[in-house]
Structure 1
Amino acid sequence: MENAVLQQARSTRGWTQEETAEHVRTWCRRNGLDPGSFDAATVSRLECGRIKWPRDEVRRALRTVFEVETDAELGLVGRRRPPTTTREVSTTKRRTLLQLGTAAVLPDLAPAPTRLGADDVRGLDLHAGALEEWDRRSGGRATKHFAALELRRAVDLGSASMTPAVRSAWNGAVARLAGLYAWTLFDAGEIGAVPAFDLALGAAREAGDASAYCHIATNAARQAVHDGAAERALSLTASAAGPHSPAVLAMISAVSAQALALHGDIRGVMRAVAAAEAHASRTDNDATEEGWTQTLTPAKLRSDLGYALYRLSATTGHLAPDLVPQLRRTAGVSEVSQPRAKAMGAARLATVLFRQGDVDEARHHAVVAVHLAAVVGSARLDSAITEMHAAAV
């Protein structure tokens, strides 16, 4: 399947395929790495989808020359690890998926193929990755309709015949897309996120995909924290526990800290923050992550920890330890790759600074937040900016 994300990244910079290849070769040589026979023809094969997962040094070079943090931002998606069990999503659940939110008013899609293959499922994952990246850059309002449309298409593919292995992978793709749809509903401030998350969690269990379940459960926990449902959030993070990578364990601890903050549990929050930082210190920055775990960057962790301390301060009425430094780190992330995270960090930092009387710095961050809010459609961001304005009065 064609990698339109990489094509767009190259075209935006006005590079030819040969110029792109030369940038990659130059970076590799400067860093003592062997680019191999990476040339214009290789770039063409990447863009055509004939090569979906180039070797590590090439991916590192591509991330650097295109100034992105994850492979997914270039449309590169690694192979899914085989799930431990093979179970099918029931017909009832498949029908329920079709009834989700805006899916009921979407136009009819082209007839599903009679047989589904591994490449078709990889295409679903590629589309999910591209939509997740779009959500990070533009917000849930811009993405939710397309997430619903892709979910509808994925569910319709379930009527095709497929091998047990492909069926299991399809179940996982449906879970990921349902989780994305739930997340975009939440970020857009629309109703229906909780049942959509529950449906996505059920699909992940049916797929036997612990990684997808963890991704969905922690996002659902973030939504629960936003709604003040601490017990649901803690239950979700507990259900996500498992033998995960240090980066994933750091994320689970950070989201748990957010839930504990709703109780005003200062010791519990600080223990969870310390656990997140300890897990993060064991993360191998050179390790190859796959799928959604590529998004678990240090900047993402700083954002999660900053929000945990921000919620703790709001609950207790006292400034949490390390709050301002954490928010400064979040406000300092890339405006290009993570505009929503940067805007929310800037708005929260401005809120705290206004309340402390540091008006000049607060105004600087407020301008950044308002500027980015013009291009990011997020109800969560709108809420953070409303709170910032109230603190400025």
Structure 2
Amino acid sequence: MTGTRRAPLLAQSALARARDTRGWTQQAAAREYTRVASELNIPAAEPDSLRISISRWERGEHTPDEQNRKVLRRLYNLTDEELGLTSRPRLILGDETAELAARLASTARVDVALIGAFDQQTQSLRLQDRTFGAASLLDQMSAHIHQVQGHLGHSMTSGVRAGLARVLADAGALAGWQALDAGAAMRAWEHFNLAKTAAREAGEPILLAHAIGEQAYALLEVGDPHGALDAIKCAAALGPHPPLLTAWLAAAEGEFAAASGSTTMALRAFDRAQHFLPAGSADESLPFLALNDAHLTRWRGSALTRLGNPEAIEDLTHALNAIDQGSFVRALAGLHTDLATAYAVTGDRDQARTHIRLARSLAAQIGSQRLLRRLDSIPLPGLASQDL
């Protein structure tokens, strides 16, 4: 057989895959790049020139500098490593000894006050995440975890190691949740594993149970609700836990049971969560849990939505009127997503369309790829996608 021999296709670069995942052409990516650069107060080239730069970056002909990488990280909500923009520096003989000595000396200055400052930094990032989403925090979160992990890796003092491990367990679980929301499932899984390892070193079953519970959502995300159920039961078995964590684990079990199609198990789990939910303010010893009557009602409504139960609308509407909409933007976006789904199930296209628009706007603001995917999957017979 004769004919022209076709040249082998080049493997798509990570940067090109990130763009392709968004469904953008290089021209569209250039427009989005310009928008993000403006938000970061970073100057951008003209669109045509920028499109050429993007093409060269994707082909590996040029490497973007730090300012361009900062824009690309925000644009795609991915790390340098995930974008294929990292390279190992060439080691110079003799430098390793000096570097190790410097890191050991730096870690020797870590004390209780500094560990407390790291803990407060995690809490600050958590509060910002609830309001603004993970997209704007990727660099800060990565740097925070890298710093704490670095000190933990160079400390030989048991008390300091335990304190740093507690911080890392909390921060790792938060980073895992952020990555899951951003659609970076592998990064999320690695962060959750890091959080579990740190919680075990710290000897903190509460932090371990929380990390396992959040990692269970990665199983749900990949379509394994039964695996998620098994994981959440393992987390609960590490107890006894404080009432707030017990309620949180029970509510998660209810959601996973609903995803598995078990109405009875789901409702019983939410009844158990309501029973254990403490009255009044949140537990200050569990800053990573934001659960009150309004959030539990939202959670139950979301589970009922999965089950196609029309009672979901009542729960979700009640939660919409009760939730702190200014501080919990991701929760609000999820609430509108659930309401859109529930109304679509009942055939109320007008209400469904209204909530889709609200949810899509909020999800775009916080960069929630997980919610945007859910919104794209809501069936509205007879309604064209451009009408949304």
Determine if the TM-score, normalized by the shorter chain, exceeds 0.5.
Answer: yes
1:248 is aligned to: 245
Using a 3 Å threshold, how does the CA distance of structure 1 residues 210 and 391 change in structure 2: closer, same or farther? Answer: farther
Q: Which amino acid aligns with 2:360?
A: V
**Kept after mapping to 1: 8 A contact 2:254/2:267:** yes
**Kept after mapping to 2: 8 A contact 1:351/1:387:** no
1:341 is aligned to: 331
CA distance in 2 between counterparts of 1:367 and 1:388 reads: 12
Identity between Structure 1 and Structure 2 (%): 27
The residue correspondences of 1:1-393 to structure 2 (distance < 5 A) are: 105=86, 112-161=106-155, 163-192=157-186, 193-241=188-236, 242-280=239-277, 283-286=278-281, 288-293=283-288, 295-311=290-306, 313=307, 319-320=308-309, 322-332=311-321, 333-388=323-378, 390=380, 393=383
Using a 3 Å threshold, how does the CA distance of structure 1 residues 138 and 300 change in structure 2: closer, same or farther? Answer: same
2:66 is aligned to: none
Aligned residue for 1:176, secondary structure, equals: helix
Deviations 1:211-231 (Å, cap 9, x if unpaired)? 211221221122222222123
Aligned residue for 2:149, secondary structure, equals: helix
TM-superposed CA distance for 1:148, in Å, is 1.6
Using a 3 Å threshold, how does the CA distance of structure 1 residues 234 and 287 change in structure 2: closer, same or farther? Answer: closer
Deviations 1:239-270 (Å, cap 9, x if unpaired)? 22112222221111111112212321121112
Q: Which amino acid aligns with 1:334?
A: D
TM-superposed CA distance for 1:362, in Å, is 3.0
1:27 is aligned to: none
CA distance in 1 between counterparts of 2:125 and 2:379 reads: 31
TM-superposed CA distance for 1:102, in Å, is 8.1
* Cα RMSD, aligned residues only: 3.0
CA distance in 2 between counterparts of 1:292 and 1:206 reads: 20
Q: Which amino acid aligns with 1:357?
A: G
Structure showing greater relative contact order (alpha-carbon pairs closer than 8 Å, 6 or more residues apart): 1
TM-superposed CA distance for 1:287, in Å, is 6.6
Specify the structure having the higher radius of gyration (Cα).
Answer: 2
Q: Structure 1-normalised TM-score?
A: 0.65
Aligned residue for 2:217, secondary structure, equals: helix
**Kept after mapping to 2: 8 A contact 1:121/1:170:** yes
Q: Which amino acid aligns with 1:263?
A: S
Q: Structure 2-normalised TM-score?
A: 0.66
**Kept after mapping to 2: 8 A contact 1:141/1:187:** no
Using a 3 Å threshold, how does the CA distance of structure 1 residues 391 and 250 change in structure 2: closer, same or farther? Answer: farther
**Kept after mapping to 1: 8 A contact 2:219/2:228:** yes
**Kept after mapping to 2: 8 A contact 1:218/1:255:** yes
TM-superposed CA distance for 1:337, in Å, is 0.7
Using a 3 Å threshold, how does the CA distance of structure 1 residues 237 and 288 change in structure 2: closer, same or farther? Answer: closer
CA distance in 1 between counterparts of 2:171 and 2:136 reads: 16
**Kept after mapping to 2: 8 A contact 1:102/1:148:** no
Using a 3 Å threshold, how does the CA distance of structure 1 residues 340 and 161 change in structure 2: closer, same or farther? Answer: closer
Q: Which amino acid aligns with 1:248?
A: L
Deviations 1:115-173 (Å, cap 9, x if unpaired)? 31011111111111111222222223333332121110111112555643222111111
Structure 1: runs of 5 or more not aligned: 1-98, 314-318
**Kept after mapping to 2: 8 A contact 1:116/1:162:** no
Q: Which amino acid aligns with 2:151?
A: L
Aligned residue for 2:327, secondary structure, equals: coil
TM-superposed CA distance for 1:101, in Å, is 6.1
TM-superposed CA distance for 1:321, in Å, is 6.0
Q: Which amino acid aligns with 2:347?
A: G
Structure 2: runs of 5 or more not aligned: 1-79, 90-98, 384-388
TM-superposed CA distance for 1:306, in Å, is 2.4
1:82 is aligned to: none
Aligned residue for 1:240, secondary structure, equals: helix
**Kept after mapping to 1: 8 A contact 2:310/2:342:** no
* Paired positions, count: 287
Using a 3 Å threshold, how does the CA distance of structure 1 residues 172 and 296 change in structure 2: closer, same or farther? Answer: same
CA distance in 2 between counterparts of 1:163 and 1:103 reads: 36
CA distance in 1 between counterparts of 2:305 and 2:351 reads: 18
CA distance in 2 between counterparts of 1:232 and 1:170 reads: 30
**Kept after mapping to 2: 8 A contact 1:117/1:166:** yes
**Kept after mapping to 1: 8 A contact 2:245/2:289:** no
**Kept after mapping to 2: 8 A contact 1:158/1:170:** yes
**Kept after mapping to 2: 8 A contact 1:129/1:291:** no
Using a 3 Å threshold, how does the CA distance of structure 1 residues 356 and 236 change in structure 2: closer, same or farther? Answer: same
Deviations 1:327-378 (Å, cap 9, x if unpaired)? 2234332321111111111122122213323234334333322332331111
